[in-house]
């Protein structure tokens, strides 16, 4: 698929979900690298960098997107012939795509172990990683049922209930505001993530922090399923995750809004759940307490304290 086509599909959410966004960006860069007609390394680098920027700019919150793009283009600055550099991009993209798929499978096995026979699980939005855990627990013979939220305004809950229904899992479909009313019937909350910060805060679909709050009040455990490439390296240097605010038309039509001149629709797509509300984050390399997020960033994304210093120097220079 062309870069612009993929970028458009990510922007309008035809391609959505933090993992899928990352894989489709990697695929787009790989296909672009294959077909890019240039005669020298410099032009190849320039065009690839532009394509990378275009993809990253589509949605600001899911860190999986810039992480995937950076993994794919990491060899661009190295030395080599045009053929070598082109092949490096293709190889890295293919490796990322397959390791991302494997990560979800691995998370399913690890997460399923944290689900007990007889559990009722509440999930919010549509997370491939969270659903993989639930489906794996069901497949392994545990009798489970699910509460799935509607997820206004984009109704990703519909995708969730279709998947659960197809898997033969008993599911209660509820509106977002009914979570607190049903939380006492729930044994475990299990959601996905668009980003995890260095201090273990989880950025996920709007409403997740309310779910977490209800779960904490009712002493229900909260698990988050997140591949390691959803951890946000730049939060080490204090960078905040940008919360995407989507068009008001997703919430209220232009026709209705035009009759309400004093009303402004706010439509943030994500919110932040502090680490204190999260019991465990299930990654493909193991289930960790949120406080261990830095270890993932250092050991699996390669961002050590040295990178911190480098970035700090750069940031300070910018301020001068
Ligand atoms: P997986 C989604 O964002 C949801 O917030 C979901 O929890 C998260 O990505 C992770 O999804 P959106 O694209 O990668 O629907 O686990 O805004 O599928």
CA-to-CA dists, residue 107 to 46, 162, 202, 297, angstroms: 36, 21, 17, 17
302 — pLDDT class (breaks 50, 70, 90): confident
CA of 52 relative to ligand 1 center, distance in Å = 21
Q: What is the mean pLDDT of residues 7-23?
A: 98
User: Hey, whose CA ends up nearest to atom 5 of ligand 1?
Assistant: 205
Q: Which atom of ligand 1 is nearest to the CA of 104?
A: 16
All structural domains of the chain, each given as residue ranges with its CATH number in brackets, are 3-105+304-319 (1.20.120.420), 109-301 (3.40.50.10470)
CA of 157 relative to ligand 1 center, distance in Å = 11
Give the contacts of 110 (CB within 8 A, at least 6 positions apart).
133, 282, 283, 284, 286, 287
CA-to-CA dists, residue 29 to 103, 222, 238, 272, angstroms: 21, 36, 29, 30
Q: Alpha-carbon torsion 180, 184, 185, 187, what sign?
A: positive
Q: Please list every protein residue whose CB sits less than 6 Å from any atom of ligand 1.
A: 16-19, 125, 127-129, 156, 191-194, 204-205, 269
95 — pLDDT class (breaks 50, 70, 90): very high
Q: Which atom of ligand 1 is nearest to the CA of 129?
A: 16
Known catalytic residues are: 125, 194
Q: State yes or no: pLDDT of 149 exceeds 50.
A: yes
CA of 286 relative to ligand 1 center, distance in Å = 20
Rounded to whole angstroms, the Cα distance separating 68 from 70 reads 5
Residue 308: per-residue pLDDT = 55
Q: Give bridge partners of residue 282 from the DSSP assignment.
A: 225, 287
Rounded to whole angstroms, the Cα distance separating 245 from 267 reads 5
Q: State yes or no: pLDDT of 306 exceeds 80.
A: no
Q: State yes or no: pLDDT of 311 exceeds 70.
A: no
pLDDT digits (tens, 9 = 90+) for 267-296: 999 999 999 999 999 999 999 999 999 999
Helix axis angle, 18-35 to 3-11, nearest 10°? 170
Is 142 exposed, middle or buried (CB count within 10 Å of its CB: 0-12, 13-18, 19+)? middle
Is 94 exposed, middle or buried (CB count within 10 Å of its CB: 0-12, 13-18, 19+)? middle
User: Hey, whose CA ends up nearest to atom 12 of ligand 1?
Assistant: 17
User: Hey, whose CA ends up nearest to atom 3 of ligand 1?
Assistant: 17
Rounded to an integer, what is the distance from CA 39 to the centroid of its chain? 37
The bridge status of strand 120-123 relative to strand 188-191 is parallel
CB atoms within 10 A of CB 271: 17
CA of 309 relative to ligand 1 center, distance in Å = 32
CA of 77 relative to ligand 1 center, distance in Å = 31
According to DSSP, residue 241 is labeled P
User: Hey, whose CA ends up nearest to atom 2 of ligand 1?
Assistant: 17
pLDDT digits (tens, 9 = 90+) for 186-215: 999 999 999 999 999 999 999 999 999 999
pLDDT digits (tens, 9 = 90+) for 151-186: 999 999 999 999 999 999 999 999 999 999 999 999
Angle at 223 between CA 218 and CA 225, to 5 degrees: 155
CA of 127 relative to ligand 1 center, distance in Å = 5
Helix axis angle, 41-56 to 82-113, nearest 10°? 30
Pocket test for ligand 1, best of 192, 206, 242 (most atoms within 8 A of CB): 192
Q: Give bridge partners of residue 205 from the DSSP assignment.
A: 270
Q: What global pTM score does this model have? A: 0.94
User: Hey, whose CA ends up nearest to atom 6 of ligand 1?
Assistant: 127
Residue 309: per-residue pLDDT = 55
Q: State yes or no: pLDDT of 310 exceeds 70.
A: no
Q: Which atom of ligand 1 is nearest to the CA of 22?
A: 14
């Amino acid at each position: 698929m062309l870069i612009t086509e993929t970028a458009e599909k990510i922007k309008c959410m035809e391609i959505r979900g933090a993992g899928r966004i990352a894989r489709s960006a990697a695929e787009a860069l790989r296909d672009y690298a294959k077909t890019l007609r240039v005669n020298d390394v410099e032009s190849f680098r320039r065009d690839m960098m532009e394509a990378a920027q275009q993809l990253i700019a589509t949605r600001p919150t899911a860190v999986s997107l810039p992480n995937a793009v950076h993994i794919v283009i990491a060899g661009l600055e190295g030395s080599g012939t045009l053929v070598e550099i082109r092949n490096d991009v293709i190889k890295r993209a293919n490796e990322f795509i397959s390791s991302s798929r494997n990560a979800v499978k691995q998370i399913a096995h690890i997460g399923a172990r944290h689900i007990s026979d007889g559990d009722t699980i509440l999930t919010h939005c549509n997370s491939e990683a969270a659903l993989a855990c639930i489906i794996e627990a069901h497949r392994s013979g545990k009798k489970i049922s699910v509460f799935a939220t509607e997820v206004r305004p984009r109704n990703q809950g519909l995708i969730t209930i279709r998947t659960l229904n197809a898997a033969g899992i008993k599911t209660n479909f509820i509106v977002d505001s009914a979570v607190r009313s049903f939380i006492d019937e729930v044994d475990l909350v299990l959601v996905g993530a668009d980003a995890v910060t260095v201090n273990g805060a989880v950025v996920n679909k709007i409403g997740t922090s309310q779910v977490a709050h209800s779960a904490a009040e009712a002493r229900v455990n909260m698990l988050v399923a997140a591949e390691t490439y959803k951890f946000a390296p730049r939060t080490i240097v204090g960078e905040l995750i940008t919360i995407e605010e989507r068009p008001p038309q997703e919430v209220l039509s232009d026709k209705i809004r035009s009759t309400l001149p004093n009303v402004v629709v706010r439509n943030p797509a994500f919110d932040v759940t502090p680490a204190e509300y999260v019991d465990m984050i299930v990654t493909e390399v193991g289930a960790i307490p949120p406080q261990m997020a830095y270890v993932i960033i250092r050991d699996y994304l390669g961002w050590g304290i040295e990178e911190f210093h480098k970035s700090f120097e750069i940031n300070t220079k910018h301020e001068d």
